[in-house]
Amino acid sequence: MKKLILIIVLIAIKFSGLGQTQTTIIQNGTLHIGNGEVIENGVLVMENGKITFVGNTLKTLYKNAQVVDAKGKHIYPGLIAMNTILGLNEIDAVRATRDYSETGMFNPNVRSLIAYNTDSKILPTATFNGILYAQAVPMGGIISGSSSLMKTQAWNWEDAAIAIDEGVHINWPSLHLSPYSSEDAEKQLKRTEETISKIEAFFVAAQQYEQAIQPEFNARMHAMKNILNGQQTLYIHAEEAKGILNAVNFFKSKFPAVKIALVGATESYLIIDFLKENKVPVILSTLHALPYKKADDVDQPFKTPAQLMAAGIKVILSKEGSWEARNLPFIAGTAAAYGLTKEQALQCITLNAAEVLGVDAKIGSLEKGKDASLVICEGDILDMRTNVISSAYICGEAINLENEQVKLAKKYKGKYGF
Query: pLDDT at position 15, please?
Result: 45
Tens of pLDDT along the chain (418 residues)?
Answer: 555 555 554 445 444 444 445 899 999 999 999 999 999 999 999 999 999 999 998 888 888 899 999 999 999 999 999 999 999 999 888 888 888 899 999 999 999 999 999 999 999 999 999 999 999 999 999 999 999 999 999 999 999 999 999 999 999 998 877 766 777 788 888 888 999 999 999 999 999 999 998 889 999 999 999 999 999 999 999 999 999 999 999 999 999 999 999 999 999 999 999 999 999 999 999 899 889 888 889 999 999 999 999 999 999 999 988 889 999 999 999 999 999 999 999 999 999 999 999 999 999 999 999 999 999 999 999 999 999 999 999 999 999 898 888 888 888 888 887 6
Dihedral of the alpha carbons of 379, 381, 382, 386, in degrees to the nearest 10: 40
Query: pLDDT at position 409, please?
Result: 85
pTM score, two decimals? 0.91
Distance CA 146, CA 384 (A): 32
Distance CA 193, CA 251 (A): 15
Distance CA 258, CA 225 (A): 10
Query: pLDDT at position 412, please?
Result: 87
Query: pLDDT at position 8, please?
Result: 53
Per DSSP, what are the bridge partners of residue 296? none
- Nearest C-alpha neighbor of 105 from the set 213, 198, 244: 198
- Nearest C-alpha neighbor of 287 from the set 349, 217, 236, 225: 349
Alpha helices in 212-348 (DSSP H): 219-222, 225-228, 241-254, 272-278, 300-310, 328-336, 342-347
Tell whether domain 79-364 is in CATH 3.60.15.10: no
- Nearest C-alpha neighbor of 288 from the set 323, 335, 241: 335
Cβ neighbors of 167 (< 8 A, separation 6 or more) are: 146, 147, 232, 233, 234, 235, 261, 357
Query: pLDDT at position 6, please?
Result: 53
Please give the distance of CA 248 from its chain centroid, rounded to a whole number: 22
Distance CA 49, CA 363 (A): 12
